[in-house]
Amino acid sequence: MRVLVVGLGAMGSSAAMQCALRGAHVRGIDRYARGHALGASNGKSRIIRQAYYEDAAYVPLLLRAYELWRDLERRSNEDVLRLVGLLLAGKEDSAILQRTLAAAREHLLNVEALDARDLRRRFPPLLLDPGEVGVFEPLGGLVVPEAAVRAFQCVAEDAGAELRFETKMENWSAGNDGVEVALEDGTRLRGDALVLALGPWFEAAMAGAGVPMRVQRNVQLWFSPATYAYDAARFPAFLVDRPSLPSPLYGFPDLGDGVKAAFHGYGAFANPDGLDRGIDAKSDVAPVARALDAWMPGAAANFLEGKACMYALTPDEHFVVDVHPQHRNVVLCGGFSGHGFKFASVVGEVVADLALAGETQHDVGFLSAERFVPKTRERVPDGRTGKEEECHRTTSSDA
């Protein structure tokens, strides 16, 4: 079977690898150079956790994701997954903490509820607000995004996938006789199935599928701490939910390049091709530095660097992993809303299932594109659109 994959960030590269490992003839393209930092698959560290407060329905996918991250490490000899633990903190009635504990109870996950005395004993440097408590997840930690994407691509190519970079898609089409991708240089690639994994550029390409999305500018920052107390050997990844903050503050211990911190889901909406990638000391750095030092004193002693990244947000902030509403041979993979990277290993497996078999054993119904499709618009079961072939133009894909 011939599979075309457009977009070779984490999700597209994982899907390309999974399809190639199953014997498919895979051709993948990406608009930018290999290893570029312009999309959403970089930043040195991404949180991974199992007790999922966003929706407990994600937990089975996460458990499989952990298995597949370890499998990727074995196949690639890359260190991808680091379980340094994860500390969540906030008021006892914090929805984040309450939903985390509920997910852990539902799926029998290993988490520890910590009162203020426990927090001070376990993590002496912390400054707690009155009434704050915590939840510690020993199997939480981080995935290294650059290493993960590199590993997906290397394993995919070892399995026979052809990956092309600095190659832009002009448009794509799908019909009963297959799929086609037209490249900017006039080349046309043909296949049996198409995977669209367009990251922050998902919106322009997917408007015709009825999937609304907005892109939000988020800023990640690194600081040199004034103490060794925040080294990865002593301190976990963290997320603190405080009413005084514009959104939850999350981050990572010092892994050798400083303490990383950011506000989750906070920032102006932007066009991915016109994103302001500059870092402003007053508006970007200072608020995070203040919040970080009010939680981890001395952690933000010296600003090192910053990076503007993008959240591709659906209206409900859940993903879209599904076949196209009008084309059964096109798989949509996007809208990861700032919390999707940890799922990349299992998303690749789900996408390969859909591309090669048209169905998956994973329970991903809650990630269906149909939730955004108007009720009067029916999904076409065999890929027919009323025309022999329908063409979709994109002007800003990440392919």
Tell me the pLDDT band of 76, cut-offs 50, 70 and 90: very high
Tokens of 343: 């799922």
Can you tell me the mean pLDDT for 57-67?
98
Measured CA to CA in angstroms, residue 24 lies from 32, 33, 150, 161, 327 at distances of: 24, 24, 20, 8, 20
3-state secondary structure 305-335: EEEEEEEEECCCCCCEEEECCCCCCEEEEEC
- Predicted local confidence at residue 192, as pLDDT: 98
Q: What are the extents of the domains in the chain?
A: 2-42+146-212+316-393, 86-138+214-313
Tell me the pLDDT band of 378, cut-offs 50, 70 and 90: very low
| pLDDT tens by residue, 1-48 | 999 999 999 999 999 999 999 999 999 999 999 999 999 899 999 999
Q: Check pLDDT > 70 for residue 284.
A: yes
φ/ψ region of 273 (left if φ > 0, alpha if ψ in -120 to 50, else beta) reads alpha
Fill in the amino acid letter for 383: G
For the segment(s) 2-42+146-212+316-393, the CATH number from 3.40.50.2300, 3.50.50.60, 3.40.50.720, 3.40.640.10 is: 3.50.50.60
Q: What percent of the chain has pLDDT over 90?
A: 89
> How many other CB atoms are there within 10 angstroms of residue 103's CB atom?
23
Fold of 86-138+214-313: D-Amino Acid Oxidase; Chain A, domain 2 (3.30.9)
φ/ψ region of 123 (left if φ > 0, alpha if ψ in -120 to 50, else beta) reads beta
Q: Check pLDDT > 50 for residue 262.
A: yes
3-state secondary structure 4-42: EEECCCHHHHHHHHHHHHCCCEEEEECCCCCCCCCCCCC
| pLDDT tens by residue, 202-220 | 876 677 788 889 999 999 9
- Predicted local confidence at residue 208, as pLDDT: 74
